[in-house]
Amino acid sequence: MAPFKTINDTVHGTIRLEGIVLDLLETLEIQRLNSIRQLGLTYLVFPGANHSRIEHVIGVSHVAGQIADAFDLPEAEKDLVMAAGLLHDVGHGPFSHTLEHVLSHERSLDHMKLTQRIIKGDEDNVAPQEREEFPDVPRIPEVIRAHGLKPAEVASLVEGVPVMHGLRGLGEPAKLRGKRYLAQIIHSTVDADQVDYLMRDAHYTGVAHGAFDFRRLLQTMMLKDGRMVIDKKGLPALEGMLVARALMYSSVYFHKTVRIAEQMIARAVERSEKPVTEVQKMVDAELINWLVDQGGLQREFALRIKYRKLFKRAWHRGRDDLSKEQCDTLLELADRGKRRKAEDAICRRAAIEGGRVLIDVPAPELLLSEPRIAAVDIDVVDEDRLVPFRKSSPLSRALQLREVSDWVVMVAADPKLLGEVRAAVERVLFA
């Protein structure tokens, strides 16, 4: 009998680990995720949100396996999607999405592209001196090949790119060109990643908004013309998942205090004189220690995070509060150089030390961290017809138009300096 292990998961119950999943779990790249919080700094607002990124990837792999079973996929395809589910987040840096826009700016890579490079062996997210301590532990590509799969094919699923190449034991490449469902299981409007993070994050934060009927959704998923579709009987469950996604982003992931904490860490890293590339291989605790050791603003912000002495919102405006010209001006602050220049200008006008004002324009970062946020591109089977979800449900348009945050721009500062900052903001931003 092949070796296996069982674990007790807080969301999915007992999970059986075997084959390629069990072997991949032994890699340093995956075990590193034990020390990275799934929700970054969200625990500062929702104290239960201390679950790790490894819990999530195990859950995604498990859900991918359940979907594969529901579709009655061949064993090699099931191995492929379960491996991709387990590996889809190995590119994350400390505090998960918190520093993604910083690291993306420095390296022109988001966490998905980096993940793909790690899976293929083109990059390593383990520090060289630490890998030397475990010379007998294979890297991810070696494990994948040992199980008869190709690293490039596993990597291709992470970003939802259809597999266009042959899989060992599954026939000729031409027969696989219609297998879009393989990528959809991992990254699409309805995928294993979102199923797990919504259920898991709702559980750990205690926020009921993330609950939806996954069992019903799973029972009504099907394949048609090489694509994943949903039977009309599962439409309420599909609507429930997409509404849950929208509500969790508003109430948890983009909670204003969470955003302020994330911006504090991001600015500390941005303004560091040490190479930011060192940060990618760190875990949460290492990043905090790295910042404390630098002194100055980096030490101050790290200690404020450690003891939850956070900046407060000094000023904000929603889309309805601004003219189109003002909105266009503010969206330019997505450029890091322009945003930093504006932050320093507010500090000067308010007569406070540089770096102690944060400007948050969340829209560009949202698209980087969750490109599926407004996605509704899945078909619903109504008798013998395929009907796009946007035509099947009146909720689809509302979900696409709904704003995740109630601000287009937010400015935060030390609670003792809110008055000075508030008086300076509009003179700088709309001069």
Would 283 be classed as within a structural domain? no
Residue with tokens 């532990």: 137
In 186-339 the beta strands, taken as DSSP E runs, fall at: 221-224, 227-231, 312-317
Question: pTM of the prediction?
Answer: 0.93
For the stretch 27-36, pLDDT in tens is 999 999 999 9
Sheet with 312-317, edge to edge strand ranges: 312-317, 409-413, 357-360
pLDDT at 274: 78
Task: Provide the 10 A C-beta neighbour count for residue 250.
Answer: 15
Residue 38: C-alpha distances to residues 25, 95, 129, 255, 279 (Å):
17, 7, 26, 16, 17
Would 185 be classed as within a structural domain? yes
If residue 240 lies in a helix (H) or strand (E), which one and from where to where? helix 235-248
Determine the Cα–Cα distance for residues 129 and 32; give it in Å rounded to an integer.
14
Full residue range of the structural domain in which residue 37 is found: 4-247
For the stretch 294-335, pLDDT in tens is 999 999 999 999 999 999 999 999 888 888 888 888 888 888
Domains in the chain, number? 1
3-class state of residue 388 by DSSP: strand
Given a contact cutoff of 8 angstroms between Cβ atoms, the answer to whether 410 and 259 are in contact is yes
Bridge partners, 411 (sequence order)? 315, 359
Would 202 be classed as within a structural domain? yes
Determine the Cα–Cα distance for residues 120 and 360; give it in Å rounded to an integer.
35
Task: Provide the 10 A C-beta neighbour count for residue 417.
Answer: 20
pLDDT at 177: 59
Would 240 be classed as within a structural domain? yes
pLDDT at 368: 57
69 CB-contact burial (10 Å; exposed 0-12 / middle 13-18 / buried 19+) = exposed
Would 139 be classed as within a structural domain? yes
- Residues of the chain short of pLDDT 70, as ranges, are 1, 108, 161-177, 365-371
Given a contact cutoff of 8 angstroms between Cβ atoms, the answer to whether 280 and 93 are in contact is yes
Given a contact cutoff of 8 angstroms between Cβ atoms, the answer to whether 139 and 130 are in contact is no
- Give me the amino acid identity at 363: A
Would 402 be classed as within a structural domain? no
Would 172 be classed as within a structural domain? yes
- Give me the amino acid identity at 368: L
pLDDT at 119: 97
Would 425 be classed as within a structural domain? no
Determine the Cα–Cα distance for residues 213 and 412; give it in Å rounded to an integer.
38
State the CATH number of the domain containing residue 85.
1.10.3210.10
